Amino acid sequence: MSARIIDGKGAAAALRAKVAVEVAGYRAATGRAPGLAVVLVGEDPASAVYVRSKGKATLEAGMLSFEHKLPAEISEGKLIDLINELNSDPAVDGILVQLPLPDHIDPNQVILAIDPDKDVDGFHPINAGRLAIGLTGFTPCTPLGCLKLLKAELGDLSGKNAVVIGRSNIVGKPMAMLLLAEHCTVTIAHSRTRDLPEVVRAADIVVAAVGRAGMVKGDWLKPGATVIDVGINRVAGEGGNSHLAGDVDFASASQIAGAITPVPGGVGPMTIACLIRNTLVSAARRDGFELPEDL
Ligand SMILES: NC(=O)C1=CN([C@@H]2O[C@H](COP(=O)(O)OP(=O)(O)OC[C@H]3O[C@@H](n4cnc5c(N)ncnc54)[C@H](OP(=O)(O)O)[C@@H]3O)[C@@H](O)[C@H]2O)C=CC1
Ligand SMILES: Nc1nc(=O)c2c([nH]1)NC[C@@H]1CN(c3ccc(C(=O)N[C@@H](CCC(=O)O)C(=O)O)cc3)C=[N+]21
């Protein structure tokens, strides 16, 4: 059997187009454009690439992009001063501080400084708490993108067995909360899980967010399972080349799964589409502008 390939890139383009239509309506109604501030500390090349594609997607949707590039040596206090300025800037609807941060800066203190109502990453404890207890807030972009792909593929998720591999605050935990809210029976696996292949074998839905290239093998899967591969791992190839690989061994998994996301072209583009979606949602809440339920 050969799995359906879930086209994350196409789904992301469609979501971005829907957001752009709503942005046009928002601008006509309010006379202003939603604005996203992205803060990049230091010169990590991968982070710089992501920040650039976020800025591009923001502009393409008709929104304003404010990029703040800060030197790696900046103090935590100075970074928090900038966040306070962005919190009180009426042109800024969303604030994203690109992670990881340099070691001398505590990411928890930085995230705490962001106004929860501008926290389009959904990383602030207030938004994590809102998600956990079912209140309106901001849902982290990567898990939200995964959920949108799953619903497009499967429709109603109620009663399905879902296994999330990974328990980070930015992917694994919020993913599990979203699946629980969709009435899945959720298992969260991590590095201390005993017999991971056996745990995965029970899953109708597998979300892999580990950071280990090709770890999940085809023979771990229940035949027909839906597999969402969050992993973005840069793997060295021959002659100094490198390529991106997911956490799932695509060659073997695509023989057994019912549907699977590729890397690249799966979850990554959806993350960026959900970021501009969240930024529009933030602006719309501020002005009482109504958006479609299913955006
Ligand atoms: N596509 C996208 O938009 C995004 C992709 N990513 C990618 O997703 C992956 C995960 O990211 P993130 O959540 O930040 O990573 P973290 O490193 O924060 O978390 C990794 C998780 O995987 C678990 N883990 C590690 N080794 C094993 C193992 N052998 N068996 C089972 N579980 C294991 C860890 O367990 P423990 O808690 O016990 O240590 C931890 O919970 C990375 O490849 C990252 O690049 C991340 C964000 C966005
Ligand atoms: N505050 C914060 N918020 C984040 O959302 C955040 C972050 N920090 N730090 C890093 C991770 C990672 N992340 C990705 C976004 C897009 C792709 C993406 O578009 N990937 C393309 C490939 C890109 C390439 O070729 O390198 C794809 O999978 O097709 C990947 C990863 C967001 N993150």
Tens of pLDDT along 188-208? 999 999 999 999 999 999 999
Contact predicate 36/275, CB 8 Å: yes
Q: What is the average pLDDT across 102-109?
A: 98
Q: What is the average pLDDT across 238-251?
A: 93
Q: The domain at 29-116 falls in which architecture?
A: 3-Layer(aba) Sandwich (3.40)
The pLDDT assigned to 194 comes to: 98
The pLDDT assigned to 237 comes to: 85
Contact predicate 259/4, CB 8 Å: yes
* Residue 193 CA, ligand 1 centroid: distance in Å: 14
Give the active site residues. Answer: 54, 98, 121
**Interface pTM (ipTM) of the complex?**
0.98
Q: 141-267 — its CATH code?
A: 3.40.50.720
Which residues does 276 contact at the CB level (< 8 Å), separation at least 6? Answer: 16, 19, 36, 57, 58, 61, 63
DSSP string of 222-276, one letter each residue:
PTT-EEEE---EEEE-GGG-EEEE-SB-HHHHHHH-SEE--SSSSHHHHHHHHHH
**Is the Cβ atom of 50 under 6 angstroms away from ligand 2?**
yes
Q: Which residues lie with the beta carbon below 6 Å from any ligand 1 atom?
A: 142, 165-168, 170-172, 189-193, 196, 209-212, 230-233, 267-268, 271
What pTM did the predictor assign? 0.98
Domain with CATH 3.40.50.10860 in the chain: 29-116
| pLDDT one-digit tens code per residue, 202-229 | 999 999 999 999 999 999 999 999 999 9
284/295 Cα distance (integer angstroms): 12
* Residue 268 CA, ligand 2 centroid: distance in Å: 5
Domain with CATH 3.40.50.720 in the chain: 141-267
Average pLDDT over the chain, rounded to an integer:
97
- Other C-beta atoms within 10 Å of 16: how many? 19
What percent of the chain is modeled with pLDDT above 70? 100
* Residue 37 CA, ligand 1 centroid: distance in Å: 26
Lowest pLDDT segment from 1-10, 12-21, 111-120, 161-170: 1-10
**Is the Cβ atom of 49 under 6 angstroms away from ligand 2?**
yes
The pLDDT assigned to 240 comes to: 85
232 annotated ligand-binding residue: yes
| pLDDT one-digit tens code per residue, 133-189 | 999 999 999 999 999 999 999 999 999 999 999 999 999 999 999 999 999 999 999
**Is the Cβ atom of 264 under 6 angstroms away from ligand 2?**
yes
243/265 Cα distance (integer angstroms): 13
Ligand 1 atom at minimum distance from 272 CA = 3
6 annotated ligand-binding residue: no
CA 22 to chain centre: 21
Lowest pLDDT segment from 28-37, 45-54, 204-213: 45-54
Confidence of residue 1 (pLDDT cuts 50, 70, 90): low
Lowest pLDDT segment from 47-51, 64-68, 204-208: 47-51
Instruction: Name residue 250's amino acid.
Output: F
